[in-house]
């Protein structure tokens, strides 16, 4: 019985240390360079779409028959949380997997550069807003954030926090022409 408690205590300490290091890393790396803006969390817009596509030279994420929660600041739309039947492909990491949901963060001026949708229509879905907010209370704090305020990525920079069938929760951050991959399941860079 003591050894089970000891393992649990060590796991908890490891988890807390990992989260603290991530917060410090991202705060030091981004807080000095990105402007901070409040997110309109009170009544976020929700959409349903036949398809949602996020695509760059390195990453392709596509979701079919999905729901989308908009993340908006005074500068415009700086992110989307997407839930639905998705696939993620990152050739440089050999990742090709299914994903049930993903968070995308980008500069508001670049929405059209990365995002393509088909039949995106605004809907009312308080249940989706509630479940999305439960996920975002943790995931939003993984990239371009200051608590629940948004740090606006520089032009060309973006972040994706996706939930993969095989890998669990993974953060992909493209910052200053470099990628950072972090797997929250194994608590390690990839």
For every residue of 89-111, DSSP letters joined together read: EEGGGTEEEEEEEEEEEE-GGGH
Q: What is the pTM of this model?
A: 0.76
The CA distance from 112 to 65, in Å, is: 20
| Res 131: pLDDT | 82
| Res 23: pLDDT | 47
Residue (of 17, 68, 14) closest to 44 by Cα position: 68
Task: Say if CB 36 and CB 74 are below 8 A apart.
Answer: no
* Domain residue extents for the chain: 2-189
Contacts of 133 (CB under 8 A, 6+ apart): 41
Per-residue pLDDT tens digits for 72-125: 888 888 889 999 999 999 998 999 999 999 989 888 899 899 999 999 999 999
3-state helix, strand, coil in the chain (%, to 5): 30, 45, 25
Q: Give the whole-number percent of the chain exceeding pLDDT 70.
A: 71
| Res 24: pLDDT | 41
| Res 37: pLDDT | 61
Per-residue pLDDT tens digits for 30-47: 444 667 666 676 889 999
Task: Please give the mean pLDDT across all residues of the chain.
Answer: 79
| Res 79: pLDDT | 86
């Amino acid at each position: 019985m003591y050894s089970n408690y000891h393992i649990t205590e060590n796991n908890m300490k490891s988890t807390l240390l990992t989260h603290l290091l991530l917060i410090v890393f991202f705060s030091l790396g981004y807080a000095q360079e990105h402007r901070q803006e409040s997110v309109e969390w009170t009544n976020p817009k929700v959409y349903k779409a036949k398809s949602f596509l996020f695509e760059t030279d390195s990453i392709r994420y596509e979701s079919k028959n999905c729901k989308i929660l908009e993340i908006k600041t005074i500068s415009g739309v700086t992110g989307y949380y997407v839930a639905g039947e998705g696939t993620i492909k990152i050739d440089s990491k050999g990742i090709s997997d299914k994903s049930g949901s993903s968070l995308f963060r980008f500069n508001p001026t670049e929405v059209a550069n990365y995002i393509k949708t088909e039949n995106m229509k605004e809907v009312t879905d308080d249940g989706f807003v509630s479940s999305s907010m439960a996920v975002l209370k943790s995931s939003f704090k993984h990239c371009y954030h200051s608590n629940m305020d948004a740090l606006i990525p520089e032009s060309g920079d973006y972040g994706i926090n996706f939930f993969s069938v095989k890998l669990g929760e993974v953060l992909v951050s493209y910052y200053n022409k470099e990628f950072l991959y972090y797997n929250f399941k194994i608590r390690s860079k990839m």
